[in-house]
């Protein structure tokens, strides 16, 4: 089960339980206008901070980090590659390239099939791994940026609400108190979304980036070993330090 979803759900329930204990009405904390301002304002400010290509990559990385998509079993995949290479030679791996749903691994196998020099192959893959790692980190930065904007947008909402209250000072004490309470809902939303949603998910993407970095280094070790014609045990030993249990 996804720990991020469990954690966020637990945090939200804790806030709701605290509101209930205080005896406040849950409906008093539900304001469509404030919700629209926080989500719309934060999304707009965040999107304005990045290019469309970076936003698209963020969407892909986010879905992957949340477990939407099937992980590749690298050990079984390389065991299959070794069997094919021993039986039919390295060139036979070309037929497997189209079946690999992993761009980095596909790139490595292609370099092997093309007969690249071992040193050149390793240098190309290391450079590609570093570039991919920077993209993964940038995706985490997108949510971190949203977590920074959200409380500020909440303050904007509060200021707007207080301006409306000041325009209606003659409405009576009860109406004045209700107006002030409503104004501060925007700040509540801004802080809550930042600390209970955006920043935790940003940390999730950072953790995912580290995992993918280790996975790419495992692939590099496996590709180099495969090209060198090493046996299955040695190949897996080279990959093992970079693979999660």
pLDDT in tens, 161-206: 888 777 776 656 666 666 677 778 889 999 999 999 999 999 999 9
In tens, the pLDDT along 192-243 reads 999 999 999 999 999 989 989 998 999 999 899 888 888 888 888 888 888 8
- What percentage of the chain has pLDDT greater than the value 90? 34
Cα 143–chain centre separation: 8
Rounded Cα–Cα distance for residues 41 and 47 (Å): 10
Residue 86's Cβ-side half-sphere holds a number of Cα atoms within 13 Å equal to 10
Length of the chain: 245
Task: At 170, list the tokens.
Answer: 């003659």
Say if residues 39 and 153 touch (Cβ distance below 8 Å): no
Task: At 167, list the tokens.
Answer: 């325009």
* Rg of the chain, C-alpha, whole Å: 26
- What percentage of the chain has pLDDT greater than the value 70? 92
- Which phi-psi region, left, alpha or beta, contains residue 115 (left: φ > 0; alpha: ψ -120 to 50)? left
Measured CA angle at 52 (ends 46, 56), to 5 deg: 95
Rounded Cα–Cα distance for residues 178 and 203 (Å): 37
The structure's pTM equals: 0.81
Rounded Cα–Cα distance for residues 41 and 194 (Å): 13
With H, G, I as helix, E, B as strand and everything else as coil, classify residue 94: helix
Rounded Cα–Cα distance for residues 82 and 94 (Å): 13
Q: Is the pLDDT of residue 26 over 80?
A: no
Question: Measured on CA atoms in the order 191, 152, 43, 63, is the torsion positive or negative?
Answer: negative
Q: CB neighbours (10 Å) of residue 82?
A: 19
Say if residues 74 and 238 touch (Cβ distance below 8 Å): no
Question: Which helix (H) or strand (E) segment is 25 a member of?
Answer: none
């Amino acid at each position: 089960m996804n720990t991020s979803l469990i954690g966020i759900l637990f945090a939200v329930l804790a806030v709701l339980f605290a509101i209930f204990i205080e005896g406040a009405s849950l409906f008093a904390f539900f304001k469509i206008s404030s919700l629209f301002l926080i989500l719309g304002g934060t999304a707009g400010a965040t999107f304005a901070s990045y290019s469309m290509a970076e936003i698209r990559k963020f969407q892909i990385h986010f879905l992957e980090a949340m477990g939407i998509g099937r992980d590749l079993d690298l050990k079984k995949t390389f065991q299959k590659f070794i069997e094919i290479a021993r039986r039919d030679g390295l060139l036979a791996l070309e037929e497997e390239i189209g079946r690999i749903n992993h761009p980095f691994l596909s790139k490595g196998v292609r370099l092997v099939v093309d007969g690249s020099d071992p040193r050149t192959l390793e240098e190309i893959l290391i450079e590609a791994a570093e570039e991919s790692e920077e993209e993964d980190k940038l995706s985490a930065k997108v949510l971190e940026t949203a977590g920074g904007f959200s409380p500020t947008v909440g303050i904007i909402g509060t200021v707007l609400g207080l301006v409306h209250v000041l325009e209606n000072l003659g409405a009576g004490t009860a109406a004045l108190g209700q107006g002030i309470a409503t104004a501060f809902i925007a700040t509540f939303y801004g802080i809550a979304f930042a600390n209970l949603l955006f920043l935790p998910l940003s940390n999730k993407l950072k953790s995912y980036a580290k995992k993918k970095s280790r996975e790419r280094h495992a692939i590099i070790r496996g590709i180099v070993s495969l090209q060198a014609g090493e046996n299955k045990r040695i190949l897996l030993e080279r990959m093992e330090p970079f693979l999660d249990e």
